[in-house]
């Protein structure tokens, strides 16, 4: 049975998660893709770290717009490795969780271990299925980016698997 | 001359954009179901089951199969006895894309300049490929191409003395490098021959061919079957969880080429390879 996890992630939960564990995520996450990552890192360098980083979980996703009567449109993960260049800096700034698809670089793996974080993978290409596991969505930052804006999402039993655990062990 | 209005074209493109994004192609859905039935690896089987469920939810709720509703590639076969009236062809297609992506609540993923990167806000323009063919009709295919898989495309100019062994190794290696990043099980579109631009278009056209249909040339059909086996022996599987389903099919299109060269393009496409066609 998958284990139900409440977000934000606590130190105890992070250290208990092992690569390959199936989980159901509950609570708030923030979406961020390429351009948002670029802006995050610029903001961190300017000593203005955005609030959605420290202690939080980021979901690499850009949803389709919601049809009337639905919280969100299709919302599956995008390729995580495109964020690899920025991730160690975000982890240093306190990011604790990431959700995406595919493998990560050696640098990211080392940073996950060093800063005690966790990388989850979720079901790639199942955006319609995953949209039913999201109960709220609103754009909160960089709205000028359109599909790439940062959204705050509320997850309800959102399925994922631990891809890299806080010991740096990979699935 | 048979007249086809710009408005008819826009309306067909709009409808096809939505159909392609909401309804998984029957050949691909059937292939996913076959992969599900024969899969022994438990984790891989579970994911295949979810992908089939995802397609059902998308169709029922008119939610995009995948949030990456792509940059729209539009293939048009124009009958040489047909005339477009009431506006230009490219503008008619782009108007259809704007309308379909708005009305279908599809994601707007196109930026107006590859370096300045400002979103156009309506997913236009499309990438349009036209061919002039006999007759008076117009066959329009919309293929929304996601970039998670587009980013894994590889091209290579082989020497003319190289052959299927080298090409095969190149293709298998392309999939190995893509790993689970581009959403396996994959559909591989391969273009061999022509010039490099021709090989790239052939690879895309190959993705449009239904999975069960093999190339008419026996030696190419054999290569398609062999490569499918070799790629599946990589055991990447859905989400990288192993099992037998790393690719659902390999489609190869070929074209005459130059004595000095052997161009090859491999387009790796995800399990949500989408396209829809209408003839007007």
Q: Mean pLDDT in runs of 10 for chain B (280 residues)?
A: 96 98 98 97 96 97 97 98 97 98 97 95 98 97 97 97 96 97 97 98 98 97 98 96 96 98 98 97
How distant is the Cα of A151 from the closest Cα of chain B, in angstroms?
A: 14
Alpha helices of chain A — where are they, by DSSP H? Answer: 11-16, 34-45, 87-92, 106-114, 127-131
Backbone dihedral region for residue A157 (phi beyond 0: left; psi -120 to 50: alpha; all else: beta): left
Task: Tell me the CA distances in angstroms from B2 to B5, B132, B135, one per residue in order.
Answer: 10, 14, 9
Strand bridging mode B262-269 / B186-194: antiparallel
Name chain B contacts of A78, Cβ cutoff 8 Å. 68, 148
Q: Which residue among B47, B107, B180 places its CB closest to the CB of A147?
A: B107
Q: What single string gives the DSSP state of each residue in A100-135?
A: EBS---HHHHHHHHHTT-EEEE--TT-HHHHHTTEE
Rounded to a whole number, what is the largest CA-CA distance in chain A? 44
Average pLDDT of the residues of chain A = 96
A-to-B residue pairs, Cβ atoms closer than 8 angstroms: 122
Q: Percent of chain A, pLDDT > 70?
A: 100
How large is the ipTM? 0.92
Contact B255, B205 (CB under 8 A): no
A156: which 2 tokens? 């309800």
Determine the average pLDDT of the residues in A55-83.
96
Contact B131, B232 (CB under 8 A): no
The label of the residue with tokens 């093999």 reads: B214
How distant is the Cα of A81 from the closest Cα of chain B, in angstroms?
A: 8
Contact A110, A168 (CB under 8 A): yes
Closest CA to A103 of B241, B41, B244: B241
Q: Which residue among A63, A78, A129 places its CB closest to the CB of B57?
A: A129
Task: Tell me the CA distances in angstroms from A26 to A7, A8, A59, A86, one per residue in order.
Answer: 6, 9, 13, 25
Q: What dihedral do alpha carbons B273, A61, B153, B236 form, nearest 10°? A: -80
Q: Which residue among A74, A132, A147 places its CB closest to the CB of B109?
A: A147
Determine the average pLDDT of the residues in A7-28.
97
Contact B185, B242 (CB under 8 A): no
Q: What is the H or E stretch that residue B148 is in?
A: helix B147-150
Distance of alpha carbon B39 from alpha carbon B200, whole angstroms:
32
Using the CB atoms, write b or e for B237-275: b if 16+ within 10 Å.
Answer: bbbbbbbbbbbbbbbbbbeebeeeebbbbbbbbbbbbbb
How distant is the Cα of A75 from the closest Cα of chain B, in angstroms?
A: 5
Which of A33, A126, A134, A137 would best serve as a mutation to test chain B binding (most B beta carbons within 10 A)?
A126
Interface of B with A (CB under 8 A): 47, 50-51, 53-55, 57-58, 61-69, 105-109, 117, 119, 121, 148, 151, 179-183, 239-240, 270-272
Are the Cβ atoms of A66 and B50 closer than 8 angstroms? no
Peptide bond into A17 cis (omega under 30): no
Are the Cβ atoms of A126 and B51 closer than 8 angstroms? yes
pLDDT tens digits, one per residue of A107-139: 999 999 999 999 999 999 999 999 999 999 999
Peptide bond into A32 cis (omega under 30): no
Task: Kindly give, in sequence order, each residue whose CB lies less than 8 Å from that of residue B96, ignoring residues fewer than 6 positions away.
Answer: B9, B10, B11, B12, B13, B14, B16, B17
Interface of A with B (CB under 8 A): 35, 61-67, 70, 73-76, 78-79, 81, 101-103, 121, 123-129, 131-132, 145-148, 161, 171
How distant is the Cα of A127 from the closest Cα of chain B, in angstroms?
A: 5
Are the Cβ atoms of A128 and B50 closer than 8 angstroms? no
Name chain B contacts of A70, Cβ cutoff 8 Å. 61, 63
Q: Percent of chain A, pLDDT > 90?
A: 95
Are the Cβ atoms of B66 and A127 closer than 8 angstroms? yes
The pLDDT score that the predictor gives to residue A1 is 84
Angle ∠(A66,A72,A76) on CA atoms, nearest 5: 120
The pLDDT score that the predictor gives to residue A147 is 87
pTM of structure: 0.94
Q: Which residue among B57, B148, B179 places its CB closest to the CB of A128?
A: B57
Strand order in the sheet with B138-145: B127-133, B71-79, B138-145, B276-279
How distant is the Cα of B105 from the closest Cα of chain A, in angstroms?
A: 5
Distance of alpha carbon B111 from alpha carbon A18, whole angstroms:
39
Residues, chain B:
280
pLDDT tens digits, one per residue of A18-44: 999 999 999 999 999 999 999 999 999
B122: which 2 tokens? 């309506």
Task: Kindly give, in sequence order, each residue whose CB lies less than 8 Å from that of residue A114, ignoring residues fewer than 6 positions away.
Answer: A91
pLDDT tens digits, one per residue of B239-264: 999 999 999 999 999 999 999 999 99
The pLDDT score that the predictor gives to residue A141 is 96
Closest CA to A105 of A150, A159, A170: A170
């Amino acid at each position: 049975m998958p284990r139900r996890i409440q977000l934000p992630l606590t130190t105890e939960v992070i250290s208990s998660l092992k690569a390959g564990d199936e989980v159901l995520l509950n609570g708030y996450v923030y979406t961020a893709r390429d351009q948002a990552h670029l802006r995050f890192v610029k903001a961190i360098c300017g000593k203005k770290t955005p609030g959605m980083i420290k202690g939080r979980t980021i979901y690499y996703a850009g949803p389709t717009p919601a049809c009337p009567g639905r919280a969100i449109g299709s919302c599956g993960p995008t390729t995580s490795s495109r964020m690899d260049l920025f991730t160690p800096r975000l982890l240093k700034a306190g990011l604790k969780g990431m959700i995406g698809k595919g493998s990560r670089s050696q640098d990211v793996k080392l940073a996950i271990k060093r800063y005690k974080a966790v990388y989850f993978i979720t079901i790639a290409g199942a955006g319609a299925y995953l949209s039913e596991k999201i109960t709220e969505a609103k754009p909160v930052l960089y709205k000028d980016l359109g599909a790439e804006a940062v959204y705050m999402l509320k997850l309800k039993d959102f399925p994922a698997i631990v891809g890299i655990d806080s010991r740096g062990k990979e699935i | 001359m048979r007249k086809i209005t710009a408005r008819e074209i826009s309306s067909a493109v709009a409808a096809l954009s939505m159909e392609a994004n909401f309804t998984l192609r029957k050949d691909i859905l059937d292939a996913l179901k076959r992969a599900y039935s024969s899969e022994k690896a438990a984790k891989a089987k579970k994911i295949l089951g979810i992908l089939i469920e995802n397609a059902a939810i998308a169709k029922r709720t008119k939610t995009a199969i995948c949030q990456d509703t792509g940059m729209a590639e539009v293939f048009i076969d124009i009958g040489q006895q047909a005339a477009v009236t009431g506006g230009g062809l490219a503008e008619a297609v782009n108007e259809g894309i704007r309308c379909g992506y708005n009305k279908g609540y599809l994601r707007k993923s196109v930026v107006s300049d590859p370096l300045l990167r400002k979103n156009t806000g309506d997913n236009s323009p499309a990438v349009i490929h036209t061919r002039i063919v006999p007759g008076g009709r117009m066959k329009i295919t919309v293929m929304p191409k996601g970039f998670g898989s587009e980013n894994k495309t590889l091209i290579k100019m082989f020497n003319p003395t190289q052959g299927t062994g080298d090409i095969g190794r190149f293709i298998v290696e392309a999939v190995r490098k893509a790993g689970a990043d581009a959403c396996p099980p994959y559909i591989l579109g391969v273009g061999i021959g022509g010039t490099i631009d021709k090989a790239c278009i052939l690879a895309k056209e190959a993705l449009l061919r239904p999975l069960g249909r093999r190339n008419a040339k026996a030696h190419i059909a054999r290569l398609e079957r062999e490569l499918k086996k070799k790629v599946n022996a990589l055991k990447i599987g859905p989400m990288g969880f192993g099992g037998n389903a790393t690719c659902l099919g390999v489609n190869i299109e070929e074209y005459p080429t130059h004595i000095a060269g052997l161009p090859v393009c491999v387009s790796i496409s995800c399990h949500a390879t989408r396209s829809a066609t209408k003839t007007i």
